[in-house]
């Protein structure tokens, strides 16, 4: 029973974080091909690779204060607005400390999945300390459709019943 309560609280919290992010109006496009801009400590970089298999999307963030963090969730915010979901090949996701230009040590991703709401999840081992600069790299499954893809990112503490902490928003614009 406690497990179901935990799952319900996690889902409701994730939904509330998503709605809160949308209501703040901070989900504005900020990235065009070849540019990066920081918004709420999240940077999204889109490479100009000629084919989908060569393309990579870098989500760089600074984890918030608090406990060590064992999971991240990335929720695409504009799915209900007629935009198609950006499909990533999660088994090939990579993570490392630092930024794309100052790459640090690799971070082990122990599990990746997409839940019934379309939220992408990544689990790390060992858990990452607060205030860590982390970059997660995704490759698209197929050629990405043009459009704007807005994400809300939350980190989950390494506790028995983690309460997510909002990390920031990120936007990918595919032209």
Q: What is the pLDDT of residues 24-59, one digit of tens each?
A: 443 333 333 333 333 334 445 554 555 555 678 888
- Rounded to an integer, the average pLDDT of 155-164 is 93
pLDDT given at position 29: 31
Q: What is the pLDDT of residues 108-122, one digit of tens each?
A: 999 999 999 889 999
Q: Is the pLDDT of residue 17 over 60?
A: no
Q: Which CATH number fits domain 2-174: 2.40.128, 1.10.3470, 2.60.40, 2.130.10?
A: 2.60.40
- CA–CA distance, 173 with 175 (Å, rounded to integer): 6
pLDDT given at position 57: 84
**Residue 87's pLDDT band (boundaries 50, 70, 90)?**
confident
pLDDT given at position 25: 40
Q: Is the pLDDT of residue 160 over 70?
A: yes
Q: Is the pLDDT of residue 172 over 80?
A: no
Domain layout of the chain by residue ranges? 2-174
What contacts 111, CB < 8 A, 6 or more positions away? 121, 122, 123
């Amino acid at each position: 029973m406690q497990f179901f309560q935990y799952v319900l609280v996690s889902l409701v919290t994730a939904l509330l974080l998503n709605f809160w992010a949308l209501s703040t109006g901070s989900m504005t496009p900020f990235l065009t091909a070849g540019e990066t801009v920081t918004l709420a400590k999240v940077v999204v970089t889109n490479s100009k690779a000629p084919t989908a298999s060569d393309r990579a999307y870098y989500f760089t963030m600074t984890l918030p204060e608090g406990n060590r963090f064992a999971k991240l969730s990335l929720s695409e915010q504009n799915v209900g607005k007629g935009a198609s979901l950006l499909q990533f090949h999660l088994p090939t996701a990579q993570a490392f400390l630092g930024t794309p230009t100052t790459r640090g040590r690799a971070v082990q991703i122990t599990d990746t999945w997409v839940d019934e709401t379309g939220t992408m999840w990544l689990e790390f081992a060992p858990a990452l300390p607060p205030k860590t600069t982390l970059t997660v790299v995704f490759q698209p499954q197929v050629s990405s459709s043009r459009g704007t893809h807005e994400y809300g990112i939350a980190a989950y503490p390494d506790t028995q019943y983690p309460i997510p902490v909002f990390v920031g928003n990120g936007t990918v614009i595919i032209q």
